[in-house]
């Protein structure tokens, strides 16, 4: 049995075998390893995406808590931004007392990034009721003020002389030039 192959058919068979061999080599040497690497990278990406979603959820939760705390403590935050003015304090709260005198401010200490000032006051009141009304008014003021104990009440004829110290809390001025420049 003799196989008759023409030259043209022989060229077609050789080119077909070369193409088949090149497709097989390309598949095994390039496509399959790249496919495995693609699967590993896709798994890594899915893990990263899950972590991102967890962190985004945590970020949103903390951000909502921050906004809620800022809203609830709006007066306190504004009070820390307002600088203490002794003359304004006397003008606002003189109505609670017969006479109100503030001794000069002196910086007492720095507590947890706040400047703390002590204000010594001496006042004459007709009844302790006015003093408690004063304390309620101070709680609603523009400043963060803590009245320190002891509060002394001394009867002076028809009047009661009171003496106490207050701490006025204020934010320290920002010394960071980049922060103040960005405002």
**Closest Cα partner for 114 from 138, 91, 87, 145?**
145
Q: Residue 98 — φ and ψ, nearest 5°?
A: -70, -45
Mean pLDDT across 91-95: 76
| Structure confidence at residue 177 (pLDDT) | 44
Which residue, chain included where needed, has tokens 């003359």?
87
* Residue 18: half-sphere exposure toward Cβ, Cα within 13 Å: 6
**Residue 32 above 60 pLDDT?**
yes
Beta strand residue intervals within the chain, DSSP E:
99-102, 106-111, 114-125, 144-156, 159-171
According to the per-residue pLDDT averaged within each range, which of 59-63, 95-99, 150-154 is highest?
A: 59-63
pLDDT in tens, 102-119: 665 556 555 565 556 556
Give the total residue count for the chain: 183
CB 137 within 8 A of CB 131: no
Confidence of residue 182 (pLDDT cuts 50, 70, 90): very low
Confidence of residue 1 (pLDDT cuts 50, 70, 90): low
Task: Tell me how far apart the alpha carbons of residues 135 and 146 are, in angstroms, rounded to a whole number.
Answer: 10
What φ, ψ does residue 105 adopt, rounded to 5°? Answer: -70, 145
Tokens of 18: 């070369």
pLDDT at residue 58, rounded to an integer: 96
From CA 71, how far away is CA 50, in angstroms rounded? 31
Residues 167 and 145: beta-carbon distance below 8 Å: yes
In tens, the pLDDT along 144-180 reads: 777 777 777 777 777 777 777 777 776 665 544 444 4
Question: Averaging pLDDT over each range in 34-48, 64-78, 82-96, 150-164, which range is the top one?
Answer: 34-48
3-state secondary structure of 78: helix
Across the strands, what pairs with 29? Answer: none
Question: 166, 168, 162: which is closest to 100 by C-alpha?
Answer: 162
pTM strictly above 0.75: no
């Amino acid at each position: 049995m003799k196989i008759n192959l023409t030259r043209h058919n022989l060229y077609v068979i050789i080119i077909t075998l070369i193409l088949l061999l090149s497709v097989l080599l390309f598949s095994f040497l390039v496509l399959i390893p790249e496919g495995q690497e693609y699967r590993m990278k896709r798994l890594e990406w899915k893990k990263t995406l899950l972590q991102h979603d967890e962190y985004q959820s945590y970020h949103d939760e903390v951000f909502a808590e921050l906004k809620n705390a800022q809203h609830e403590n709006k007066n306190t935050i504004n009070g820390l931004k307002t600088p203490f003015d002794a003359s304004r304090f006397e003008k606002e709260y003189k109505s609670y007392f017969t006479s109100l005198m503030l001794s000069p401010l002196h910086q007492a200490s720095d507590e947890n990034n706040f400047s703390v000032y002590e204000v010594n006051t001496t006042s004459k009141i007709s009844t302790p009721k006015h003093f408690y009304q004063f304390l309620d008014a101070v709680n609603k003021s523009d400043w963060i003020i803590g009245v320190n104990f002891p509060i002394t009440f001394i009867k002076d004829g028809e009047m009661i002389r009171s003496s106490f110290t207050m701490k006025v809390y204020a934010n320290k001025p920002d010394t960071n030039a980049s922060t103040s420049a960005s405002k």
